[in-house]
Structure 1
Amino acid sequence: MNHAPRKRFGQHFLHDPGVIQRIVGAIAPRRDDTLVEIGPGLGAITGPLLERLDHLHVVELDRDLIPHLHTLGPPGTITVHEADALRFALDSIPGPRPLRVVGNLPYNISTPLIFHLLDQAAQIRDMHFLLQKEVVERLTAGPGTAAYGRLGIMVQYRCRAEPLFHVGPGAFRPPPKVDSAVVRLTPYETLPHPARDERLFARLVQQAFTRRRKTLRNALQGLALVEQIEAAGIDPLHRPETLSVEAFVRIADVVAETAGAAPADQP
């Protein structure tokens, strides 16, 4: 199909057969999987997936690609959902759970889309995404590294995050100006460090990393008292990027337990 990539959709179409084979091999689809592909584009991954699946669901926003996608498999083997993935509800997908989600994600929506999917993580078995390499580094980073921040913490709270392999710009048309990588995100069946109040935990992490160069006592001002940070067994003079997911949960839990005493402004 002759289709000019559209900048407003962040389209970079994958065409490298070797990369496509590695991605499908990493996904390792089984015939009866309920699999959802986000942003199939011209179907570089879609076609090989259909060869291994009884049925495939795809979510595509570009209406000009919809007729082409319908031709990729035998009749009845593909369902095309013309929708914005940022607003798409996975519970509208029929079939057994949990779902498997894959996609070559546009760089301009990858982070909000991942957060949107995390809100639906209870329905998902695993996710395989081709992303900007920098985003994969942030998703999988550990404490004390430059890439560690809010995105990695919130993803690793719900999922095991594994970087799989690097993909160069030449694998795409047009080639992006950055390197890419494939990541596997596997939601935990049981959270290893469940927070008492997940909204509070999320607020605490978000605020901490808007002030990541400050110490915890200053970064969390207005949310957590120095005494609460210390009660969680953490030095309030440490910086946010040094804390593990579990450490942030401990602070949030102490704050939640002592919610009757609102944090006062601290010097």
Structure 2
Amino acid sequence: MKNNRPPRQDSNTDVRAKKHLGQHFLTDENIARKIADTLDYSGYEKTLEIGPGMGVLTKYLLEKDTEVHVIEIDSESVEYLESHYLHLRGRIHEKDFLKHDLGSIFREEQFAVIGNFPYNISTQIVFKVLQMRDQIPEFSGMFQKEVAKRICEKEGSKAYGILSVLVQAFYEAEYLFTVPPTVFNPPPKVDSGVLRLKRKENYSLPCNEKLFFTVVKTSFNQRRKTLRNSLKSLNLPDNLREDTIFGSRPEQLGFQQFIELTQKIEPYAVSNK
């Protein structure tokens, strides 16, 4: 059942953006509506918005057929939301998204994640979503454009990296649109980009997933070197490192090839434990 739209906000009680929290409040209603429309709202009943601020995106989420929860670390924003968004009563969580156990909110339920993410923690947000991928079928939101592009980038590009591989192994990643600095208060110094992640139907990898993360991260830690050199710390036998795949650089491998690489390494990683 759709919620009623909350009353219009009083501009005289605006929350002050705080630099140490990386806050840039979105002021464009059309863009807020477009972001809210990026999710399908199917296959789950609840949606979590990270860092709602004064609720410019929240108001459009409340029009969707989903139970909206918001998580906000800024007490001033929380106070504002509690007084302006009565429909959210009991679903405003004054917590740090990165540190809070989301299981206490959603238990084992499926839920989507959305937001206008602070630039300074946006990649950490993605890593936490990956950790909780069993519960998060959809994810969308606004990042620094460079970061959003990197997440969606394919192999062969200089921008392609750890986040690109790890995200694309479990989710279909799509860059949606660019947002200029002028629609924020205060305006950031760079463009922003909105992306959408949809979890794959079969997102269980045919390899040791913990080792997969290790192989990807270790490979890109020295991205200019071939895998033969960048993976030396894994203490692999010389005969394995002669395999042709080890002559590649990490940005040349798609996520499927990283899965194959992990499968080759796995017997030796297990025996070295």
Per the normalisation by structure 2, the TM-score is 0.87
Structure 1 pair 54–186 and aligned structure 2 pair: CA distance change class (3 A): closer
Q: CA deviation at 1:22?
A: 1.3
Deviation readout 1:113-142 (Å, 9 max, x if unpaired): 110111111011201111111111110111
Partner SS for 2:225: coil
Paired residues of 2:51 and 2:70 also in contact (CA < 8 A)? yes
Partner of 1:23: 35
Tell me, in whole angstroms, the C-alpha distance in 2 between the residues paired with 1:70 and 1:53. 21
Partner of 1:211: 222
Structure 1 segment 221-236 matched on structure 2, within 5 A: 221-223=232-234, 224-225=236-237, 227-229=239-241, 231=243, 234-236=244-246
Deviation readout 1:211-265 (Å, 9 max, x if unpaired): 100111111113244533555xx432221110111111111111112336659xx
Q: CA deviation at 1:41?
A: 0.6
Tell me, in whole angstroms, the C-alpha distance in 1 between the residues paired with 2:91 and 2:206. 37
Q: What are structure 1's unaligned runs of at least 5 residues?
A: none
Paired residues of 2:245 and 2:261 also in contact (CA < 8 A)? no
Tell me the amino acid that sits aligned with residue 99 of structure 1.
F
Partner of 2:197: 185
Tell me the amino acid that sits aligned with residue 145 of structure 1.
S
Structure 1 segment 82-93 matched on structure 2, within 5 A: 82-93=94-105
Q: CA deviation at 1:77?
A: 5.8
Paired residues of 2:138 and 2:197 also in contact (CA < 8 A)? yes
Tell me the amino acid that sits aligned with residue 244 of structure 1.
G
Tell me, in whole angstroms, the C-alpha distance in 2 between the residues paired with 1:164 and 1:126. 14
Runs ≥4 residues deviating over 6 A: none
Paired residues of 2:155 and 2:251 also in contact (CA < 8 A)? yes
Q: CA deviation at 1:87?
A: 1.4
Coordinate RMSD, CA, aligned: 2.2
Partner SS for 1:162: strand
Q: How many residues align?
A: 259
Q: What are structure 2's unaligned runs of at least 5 residues?
A: 1-12
Q: CA deviation at 1:26?
A: 1.9
Tell me the amino acid that sits aligned with residue 13 of structure 1.
F
